[in-house]
């Protein structure tokens, strides 16, 4: 700050000399030092402003304002840290929930697969039982059809044999043969 004041006073002095020179200025010189230069008045004004600022306690007001600002920033940082901790806790909670949901989904999938396997086993067993029942029914129907066919063949054979015997008897036996048979049967009965 003092360097700035010295540079400013040197610039003013150089400007004043360039404008009119040293002969136009009435300056008070004490022991070879000139006090009535524009730089002196600028420095004096600055000292007065600094004195007023110190008297009014501006630095302490600035420090108080800065301390209040620092405290506000600290509160904001503390709240941000608290919010971050809460967010991390929520994140951990939701990750745990996601992991639990994934575990439950895996358990439900395993249970569904096991149930499906059981249903498949039951369906196979029922299908095998149904096939066996149908096979047994088919075999029973075939056996019944065979028995009916055999009975029908026997009935037809008996009917054909009866018809053939009747035809043979009719062709080979006449009234004389019948009379001989009847006499023979009567003779056996009387004895």
Q: How confident is the model at residue 189 (pLDDT cuts 50, 70, 90)?
A: confident
Domain ranges of the chain: 2-56
pLDDT tens profile 35-69: 778 888 888 899 888 888 778 777 788 888 899 99
pLDDT of 7 > 80? The answer is no
Q: Which carries the bigger pLDDT value, residue 7 or residue 38?
A: 38
pLDDT tens profile 107-158: 999 999 999 999 999 999 999 999 999 999 999 999 999 999 899 888 888 8
> Residue 27: what pLDDT?
47
Closest CA to 43 of 68, 73, 8: 8
> Residue 58: what pLDDT?
75
> Residue 36: what pLDDT?
78
- For the chain, what is the largest distance between any 2 Cα atoms, rounded to a whole number of angstroms? 207
* Residue pair 5/41 in contact by the 8 Å Cβ criterion: no
- Single pTM value for the model: 0.36
């Amino acid at each position: 700050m003092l360097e700035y004041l010295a540079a400013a006073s040197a610039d003013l002095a150089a400007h004043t000399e360039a404008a009119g020179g040293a002969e136009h200025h009435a300056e008070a010189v004490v022991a070879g030092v000139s006090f009535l230069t524009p730089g002196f008045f600028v420095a004096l004004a600055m000292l007065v402003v600094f004195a007023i600022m110190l008297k009014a306690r501006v630095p302490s007001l600035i420090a108080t304002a800065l301390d209040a600002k620092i405290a506000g920033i600290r509160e904001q940082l503390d709240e941000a840290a608290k919010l971050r901790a809460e967010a991390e806790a929520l994140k951990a909670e939701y990750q745990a929930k996601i992991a639990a949901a994934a575990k439950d989904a895996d358990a439900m999938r395993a249970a569904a697969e096991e149930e499906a396997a059981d249903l498949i086993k039951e369906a196979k067993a029922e299908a095998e039982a149904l096939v066996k029942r149908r096979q047994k029914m088919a075999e029973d129907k075939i056996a019944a059809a065979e028995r009916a066919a055999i009975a029908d063949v026997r009935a037809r054979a008996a009917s054909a044999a009866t018809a053939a015997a009747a035809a043979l008897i009719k062709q080979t036996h006449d009234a004389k043969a019948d009379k001989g048979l009847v006499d023979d049967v009567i003779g056996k009965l009387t004895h």
